[in-house]
A and B are shown apart, each in its own frame.
Chain A
């Protein structure tokens, strides 16, 4: 089944403890992206990647890192999480930049 898989679905962590949210797609998509969704602020793009080893900042990249060493994987790294990074995170992929997105199921992160 064609899909974007995010893990974990839920995560509660403490301030400053490094964490990684994984994202993997099995559709050979070139374009991948991370979003966070917050009440009243909607969906905001964190980082995106046009292809392997090509990543760029979205609108809210501060406090996040990404890597794209393989086409299928696009992990989101929080080196030192803070409470303002508590949010619902979505990974998305598309065949190319001008094709429709497929979203993962989301990761609800709480930083205390």
Chain B
């Protein structure tokens, strides 16, 4: 089946810093999503982005489907950005299953 990798696994940032999180996948995808799980466990959809670039405030995401990766950019990080960031993909061969990556754990310190 498809392999989904995320890097880095852990990241510590000073408040105000920028960061880039990466998601690599081993097969062509129909669907790619980025999620944030906050410290209370809630999962929030950030982007649905099978290809191209999207921006939402301080966050933006780019998926290069032909090269099988996606990037999540966080600018001017805030302590509320702390948590775990997951990418999730659905491929042409995964028959409607959505597979999550292992996540990047982000801590933003004041």
Interface residues of A (CB under 8 A from B): 31, 33, 35, 42-45, 48, 50, 56, 58-59, 88, 90, 92, 97-103, 105-106
Contacts and interface: CB of A to CB of B under 8 A. Distances in A.
A43 B45 contact: no
Contact of B103 (A33, A42, A100): A42
B98 A33 contact: yes
Given A99-B48, A106-B42, A45 B33 contact: no
B96 interface: yes
Interface residues of B, number: 24
Contacts of A43: 86, 88, 100
Given A98-B31, A99-B48, A101-B33, A45 B42 contact: no
B12 interface: no
A97 B45 contact: no
B99 A100 contact: no
Given A97-B90, A98-B30, A100-B33, A106 B41 contact: yes
Q: Which of A31, A43, A105 counts the most B-chain CB atoms under 10 A from its CB? A: A43
B97 A103 contact: no
B38 to A, nearest CB: 11
Contact of B97 (A42, A58, A100): A58
Interface of B: 30-31, 33, 35, 41-45, 47-48, 50, 86, 88, 90, 95-103
Contacts of A33: 98
Given A98-B50, A99-B48, A100-B48, A45 B43 contact: no
Contacts of A48: 96-98
A37 to B, nearest CB: 8
Nearest to B30: A98
Contacts of A105: 41-42
B96 A56 contact: yes
12 contacts: A48-B97, A56-B96, A58-B97, A59-B99, A97-B96, A98-B30, A98-B31, A99-B48, A101-B35, A101-B45, A103-B35, A106-B43
